[in-house]
Amino acid sequence: MSEPLLTVADSLKDRARAALGSRNLILVGLMGAGKSSVGRIVASQLGIPFIDSDHEIERVSRMTIAELFAAYGEDEFRALETRVIKRLLKSGPRVVSTGGGAFVNERTRRHIKRGGLSVWLKADLDVLWERVNKRDTRPLLKTENPKQTLENLMNARYPIYAQADLTVLSRDVRKEIMADEVLTAVIEAQKESPAS
Ligand SMILES: Nc1ncnc2c1ncn2[C@@H]1O[C@H](COP(=O)(O)OP(=O)(O)OP(=O)(O)O)[C@@H](O)[C@H]1O
Ligand SMILES: O=C(O)C1=C[C@@H](O)[C@@H](O)[C@H](O)C1
Ligand SMILES: [Mg+2]
C-alpha cells in the first residue's frame, strides 16, 4: 500500500533537515531564477531562518540596490556584498538567498563555498526574461536591449554558477514544487557524500 501523502511530504522536510545538519544552504543563480521566493519557502519547510543578501544589504545601508549602484558604483556594491555574505554565513543553519552576481565574485564565492551547501537555480533565458521584464529595479538591466544583456550575463556566468555543489532546474512550475526539488537535491547530495 502507498504511504499517505502527508507522511511523504513530512519525511521530505525531515530528511532534508537532517541531511543539511548545521550547514547553511545558499541559493545562487541569475536574476529571476527564484532564489528569493523559493529560498523563503525552503527555509520555512526546513524550519530554519531565511535571509536574502540583497535585502540585508539594503537594510544595513539604508539604501536600495539601485541607489547603491548609482551612488557608489558596482565595485563598491560588490565589496559590501562580500562583507554581508561573509557575516551571514558565520553561523548556521540558515537559508541564504544571494544576489545574482554574488557567486560570480571570486571572494564572495570563496565564502559561499566554505559557508555551506550551494544550490544553483538554473533557468533558461525565456523563463528569466518573462520574470525580470516586469520590474525595472535591476541596475544591470538598464540597457538599450535588456534581454540581450541578460543573455550575455548567462553566457558569462553559467560556467561559474556550475561550480555550485548542486543544480536544480528552475522553470515555470509552482514555487512550492521548486522548493521540494531543492529539498530533494539536498537529500540526494547527502546520499552521495554522507561524510559532508
Ligand atoms: N517557479 C516560479 N514560477 C513563477 N514565478 C516565479 C517562480 N519563481 C520565481 N518567480 C517570480 O519571478 C520573479 C523573480 O523571482 P525572485 O525574486 O525570487 O528571483 P531572484 O533569483 O531572487 O532574483 P534577483 O537575483 O533579482 O534577486 C518574482 O516575481 C517571483 O514571484
Ligand atoms: O545579477 C546581478 O549582478 C545582480 C542581481 C541582483 O540580485 C542584485 O544583487 C544586483 O542588482 C546585482
Ligand atoms: Mg532575489
Residue 131 is labelled as binding a ligand:
no
Q: Are 176 and 44 in contact (CB under 8 A)?
A: no
What average pLDDT does range 93-108 have in this prediction? 98
Determine, yes or no, domain membership for 48.
yes
Q: How many domains does the chain have?
A: 1
Assign 98 a pLDDT band (cuts: 50, 70, 90). very high
Determine, yes or no, domain membership for 156.
yes
Determine, yes or no, domain membership for 192.
no
H or E element, residue 11: helix 5-20
How far is it, in rounded angstroms, from Cα 153 to Cα 140? 9
Q: Indicate whether 102 pLDDT > 80.
A: yes
Q: Indicate whether 196 pLDDT > 60.
A: no
Q: What pLDDT was estimated at residue 153? A: 97
Determine, yes or no, domain membership for 97.
yes
Q: What pLDDT was estimated at residue 192? A: 81
Determine, yes or no, domain membership for 50.
yes
Q: What pLDDT was estimated at residue 136? A: 77
Q: Indicate whether 184 pLDDT > 60.
A: yes
Determine, yes or no, domain membership for 45.
yes
pTM of the entire predicted model = 0.94
Q: What is the mean pLDDT of the chain?
A: 94
Query: By alpha-carbon position, which residue is closest to atom 12 of ligand 1?
Result: 131
Q: Are 23 and 92 in contact (CB under 8 A)?
A: yes
Q: Are 19 and 189 in contact (CB under 8 A)?
A: yes
How far is it, in rounded angstroms, from Cα 95 to Cα 21? 12
Paired strand residues for 50: 95
Assign 138 a pLDDT band (cuts: 50, 70, 90). confident
Determine, yes or no, domain membership for 190.
no
Q: Could you report the predicted ipTM of this complex, rounded to two decimals?
A: 0.97
The DSSP 8-state label assigned to residue 29 in this structure reads: -
Assign 191 a pLDDT band (cuts: 50, 70, 90). confident
Q: Are 82 and 105 in contact (CB under 8 A)?
A: yes
Residue-wise DSSP of 124-166: -HHHHHHHHTT----GGG-SSSHHHHHHHHHHHHHHHHTTSSE
Residue 114 is labelled as binding a ligand:
no
Q: Indicate whether 132 pLDDT > 70.
A: yes
Q: Is the CB of 33 under 6 A from ligand 1?
A: yes
Looking up cell 565564502 gives: 111
Determine, yes or no, domain membership for 195.
no
Tell me the per-residue pLDDT of 6-38, one tens digit each, with 9 for 90 and over: 566 679 999 999 999 999 999 999 999 999 999
Q: State the CATH number of the domain containing residue 144.
A: 3.40.50.300
What average pLDDT does range 78-100 have in this prediction? 97
Q: Is the CB of 65 under 6 A from ligand 2?
A: yes
Q: What pLDDT was estimated at residue 9? A: 64
The DSSP 8-state label assigned to residue 42 in this structure reads: H
Q: Is the CB of 131 under 6 A from ligand 1?
A: yes
Domain that holds residue 108: 5-184
